[in-house]
Chains A and B, each alone.
Chain A
Amino acid sequence: MSLIWEGILDAIRLLIGDDPEVWQITLLSLRVSGLATLISLLVGLPLGTVLALGKFPGRSFLLSLINTGMALPPVVVGLVVSILLWRSGPLGSLGLIYTPAAIVIAQTVIAAPVVTGLTAAALQQLDPRLRLQLLGLGASPLQMVLALWWEARLPLLAALMASFGSVISEVGASMMVGGNIRGQTRVLTTAIVLETSRGQFARAIALSLLLLALTYMVNLALTWIQQRGTRR
């Protein structure tokens, strides 16, 4: 027990003290996972909408694939992206392995199915008569989609939170494709693994507190937007 206590005290000292590396790691985590979430949103929102509203052969099969993708193990994604990006791999000439961009790619692969699957579920859950009514009122397809997104804004923002949560907390893929390089690709989760293996528990606890605080603040902001939308 005393270890945890001392760890927390050390952590507070570390957070108050001006340790630039801790803040650099935190900021990198936010940037990498934020960008991955954003790209996932840009890919997943349209794709989920097409899967929910479209009628084409293979739709159910595609949905089942996306739903499986929502549970993609990060280490498997990390392995596959590593093999692709390694110098000996097919995309090796891009020189992306062990860069923040590589982590963004891996995290996007993890998060995009989450956004896609939850978008599709959110839109399918809407009353189908709403679409008919919208079209009957003369809405263009784009206006109809925007209106449906607005109507499903609560679950859509929940989808955004779920995808950000899945990548900010992910360690396996970041470790494999990023390499946990100090000052370059070390993010909060990989730093926590490293400090724990070094026996530097105070730093590990400090970084854990930062990770929790960061996740909380991002979700607080998104929840605020989400709940503000309900007061109408």
Chain B
Amino acid sequence: MVQPGNSTVQPNGLSSGLLIAGLMLALALSACGRAPSPAVPAPADPILILATATGPQDSGLLDVLIPIFESQTGYRVKTIAVGTGAALQMARNGNADVLLTHAPSAERVLMREGWGKDRLLVMRNDYVIVGPTADPAGIRGMLSAADAFRRIAAARATFISRGDDSGTHQTERQLWARIGLNPDGQTWYLESGQGMGATLAIASAKSAYTLTDLSTYLVGRPYLQLEVLVEGDPVLLNVYHVITVNPERWPGVNYEGARAFAQFLVDPATQEIIGRFGVDQFGQPLFYPEAGKTEAELGVP
């Protein structure tokens, strides 16, 4: 029975509990406040928030580029991989300093509205239409992505859409709009609401078609029962821009850091790294460096 006056009874169990709790606290506190030691003195405002499309992150490219940028400049980059639609929204709300996105028409709207300051072309790769080897809609080898979409719709073959307002999703919706077809609500048209890697896995499991950037497909190919069926149509060009958020609209943003990051991405040395990335593993680059070119030169629609 309890003996309230006898304090020696209580502490045994409680003190062990407190000991564990104390250990947790010590561990937790030691987690905070650890910074990398850059080769150069840290800038006045070293924290830089990069909102990016998922492709550069999922392919591993940013895991290569960011540490180089950090050690060269002393900035500490917080990479938030959210998809292009969300990244553009973060710029509008002043929640990001710099963007890496791939939806040229939506980006032009952002610039026109004055939310972005600088916009530089960084790199490109290609979108491809992938699907099951059986190819029930018969699109293999077609030269026009729009015609392929028309055939998928006519065959009512399952198509997985990202459905997340990402750059890839916007390109896909533009293709449907081009052939004057609204796939919403069709039983064969499914929206995953997830990133490209997860969407490819769903398409593979469901023997379905989807539109993907080539880099994410190549990274996931060993696990996917999907093959590239349509490629090379100029409308399937996938162009990435770096955009700095306009400090006149959001005085709190780290414009100097954003500017430094944009310059880093278009720097010839960085461009060379981008062009080599993935060649060892996949036998071809995942992204082609195109800094300095204009959208017109690349044929962006």
Contacts and interface: CB of A to CB of B under 8 A. Distances in A.
Interface of A: 3, 27-28, 30-32, 34-35, 37-38, 41, 86-88, 92, 95, 97-98, 100-101, 104, 130, 134, 137-139, 143-144, 146-147, 149-151, 153, 157, 160, 179-184, 194, 196-199, 201, 221-222, 225, 228-229
Contacts of A144: 4
A98 B78 contact: yes
B220 A150 contact: no
B88 to A, nearest CB: 15
Given A88-B93, A198-B220, A28 B31 contact: yes
21 contacts: A30-B27, A31-B27, A31-B30, A34-B27, A35-B24, A38-B24, A38-B28, A88-B94, A101-B32, A143-B4, A146-B7, A146-B14, A149-B14, A150-B14, A181-B80, A182-B79, A197-B196, A198-B58, A199-B219, A199-B220, A222-B20
B4 A134 contact: yes
A32 B21 CA distance: 13
A199 B225 CA distance: 13
Given A38-B21, A229-B12, 13 more contacts: A27-B27, A35-B27, A38-B28, A41-B21, A87-B253, A97-B95, A104-B28, A130-B2, A150-B10, A179-B79, A197-B58, A199-B197, A199-B222
B267 interface: no
B13 interface: yes
B198 A196 contact: yes
B270 interface: no
Nearest to B20: A221
B21 A150 contact: no
B73 interface: no
A221 B20 CA distance: 9
Interface residues of B, number: 51
Given A87-B95, A181-B79, A139 B5 contact: yes
B268 interface: no
A147 B9 CA distance: 9
B71 interface: no
B298 interface: no
Contacts of A184: 78
B43 interface: no
B5 A138 contact: yes
Q: Do most interface residues of chain A lie in helix, strand or loop, or is the interface mixed?
A: helix
A101 B29 CA distance: 10
Contacts of B2: 130, 134, 147, 150-151
B146 interface: no
B40 interface: no
B112 to A, nearest CB: 21
Contacts of A196: 197-198, 201
Contacts of B197: 196-199
A149 B14 CA distance: 9
B31 A31 contact: yes
B81 A180 contact: yes
A156 B24 CA distance: 17
Contacts of B223: 3, 199, 201
Contacts of A157: 17
A199 B224 contact: yes
Nearest to A29: B31
Given A196-B198, A198-B58, A32 B5 contact: no
Nearest to A157: B17
B80 A31 contact: no
Contacts of A30: 27
A139 B79 CA distance: 56
Nearest to B204: A199
B130 interface: no
Nearest to B222: A199
A26 B47 CA distance: 24
A97 B96 CA distance: 11
A139 B95 contact: no
Q: By CB atoms of chain B within 10 A, which of A31, A157, A180 has the most?
A: A31
B49 interface: yes
A86 B80 contact: no
A92 B9 CA distance: 48
Nearest to A185: B78
B252 A87 contact: yes
A179 B194 contact: no
Contacts of B93: 86-88
Q: By CB atoms of chain B within 10 A, which of A27, A95, A183 has the most?
A: A183
